[in-house]
Amino acid sequence: MTLYQLKLNELRNTIYDNESQINTVIFIRNYIETHFEENLILDYLTQMQPVSKYHLLRLFKKYYGQTPRQYLIDKRIEKAKVYLENGMSVTETCFAVGFEGLGSFSALFKTKTGKTPSTFRKEQLSRSKLN
């Protein structure tokens, strides 16, 4: 082995200390990306991968800087913005992205964006009329 290969392997082992952990969190993240509108709870996610829910929380936070729940909420808000920009009503958007109640959706949307969903929708629709 060359010095370059040795250093590369050393670096790989430092950064990717456990490939199965990385594969687990990538799988869970991808699952959340494609199933964000479903009722995803931690127990359900850990049934898909052989890992305890507490270990999954630690791993996900280690690699993505937030818990799976926080990631799910961010994904839902991101998708809600797209739906609202395209003219979908606030109520339809709320249920389309997987929230169970309009109150919690509106509160989280305002916390994440600084605007209520209806204000955001109105602004986006008025911008699209100007263009």
Q: What are the tens digits of pLDDT across the range 18-28?
A: 778 888 999 99
Phi/psi at 60 (5° precision): -65, -40
> What pLDDT score does 14 carry?
63
What is the rounded average pLDDT for all residues in the chain? 89
Q: What's this model's pTM, rounded to 2 decimal places?
A: 0.81
Query: What stretches in the chain show pLDDT beneath 50?
Result: none
pLDDT computed for residue 121 by the predictor: 93
Cα distance between residue 68 and residue 58, in whole Å: 10
- Whether the Cβ atoms of residue 120 and residue 94 lie closer than 8 Å to each other: no
